[in-house]
Amino acid sequence: MRLTGVWSQRAFALLWTGETVSQLGSRVTLVALPLTSILTLDATPVQVGLLMTAGFAPAALIGLFVGVWIDRVRRRRLLIACQVVLTATTLSVPVAGWLGLLRLEHLFALQSINGALAVVVSSAGQAYVLAIVSRAQLTEANAKLSTSTSATRIVGPGFAGVLIQLASAPTAILVDAVSFAFSAVCLSLVNAPESAPSARVRRPFGAELHEGLYLAIGHRLIRPLLLSGATYNFCAPIFTAVYTRAQLGVPSWR
């Protein structure tokens, strides 16, 4: 069967494959990490909530700065570097668990670092799509990437549950580390040309930051998306802390 549309482009197929596998691995960690903090480290509801907040907070704290910075660098190299670092940081959790060295501080550091890198990967990945598909195909490409994101949100929790039952919560996080490495390999195989950022048309960092903030707050379509994302990031750690302990039969006030 002959592939059509963006599927016929090897570069997009590699990008989509790597991102889909990586997101599936991240869904495993989203389930396994709070379970690790509770079952292995006896974390309290407040600690679990703060742990999840550490992963969501970078989106609000550095999102605009990252967007301006990404316009000044080559996206593919940045994406590969981030995936390699994510592989190492995520792998440290199961390794520390096997060695009996895992601490709650370790998980907080992991969440903070990986949360910041996730912001970079998300922003750079969206920008890099334009380097491998035409503007006429951009809607189709984004639709396929969004579909795979939705699919991993559905499949991920069940997959994580199976892995945790077969092994343990810290060991299940190993799958996420492998998924980051797989994504890095896929990106390294992409051979689409990427133009170098132009320094001649570059404006001061602060001016571009102000423009981005004005657009995010003032645009009638972007503003609701920004507010809904901020609401989700605020509520998700609370939900995770209460729901995870309830599923384990642990009272939330302990």
Q: 156-170: per-residue pLDDT in tens?
A: 989 999 999 998 899
Q: What is the spatial distance between Cα 199 and Cα 49, in angstroms, rounded to a whole number? A: 42
Phi and psi dihedrals of 234, rounded to 5?
-75, -40
Q: How sure is the predictor about 227, in pLDDT bands with cuts at 50, 70 and 90?
A: confident
Report whether pLDDT(196) > 80.
no
Q: Residue 74: what pLDDT?
A: 87
Stated pTM of the model: 0.86
Q: Which amino acid is at 96?
A: A
Return the H-helix or E-strand segment holding 36: none
Q: Residue 248: what pLDDT?
A: 63
Q: What is the spatial distance between Cα 226 and Cα 4, in angstroms, rounded to a whole number? A: 34
Task: Report the mean per-residue pLDDT for the chain.
Answer: 86
- The domains found in the chain, sorted by start residue, are 11-190+204-247 (1.20.1250.20)
Report whether pLDDT(237) > 90.
no
* Tens digit of each residue's pLDDT (9 = 90 or more) over 166-184: 988 999 999 999 999 999 9
Q: Token pair for residue 92? A: 């440290």
Report whether pLDDT(210) > 80.
no
* Tens digit of each residue's pLDDT (9 = 90 or more) over 46-101: 888 899 889 888 877 787 788 888 888 889 999 999 999 999 999 999 999 999 99
Q: Residue 124: what pLDDT?
A: 92
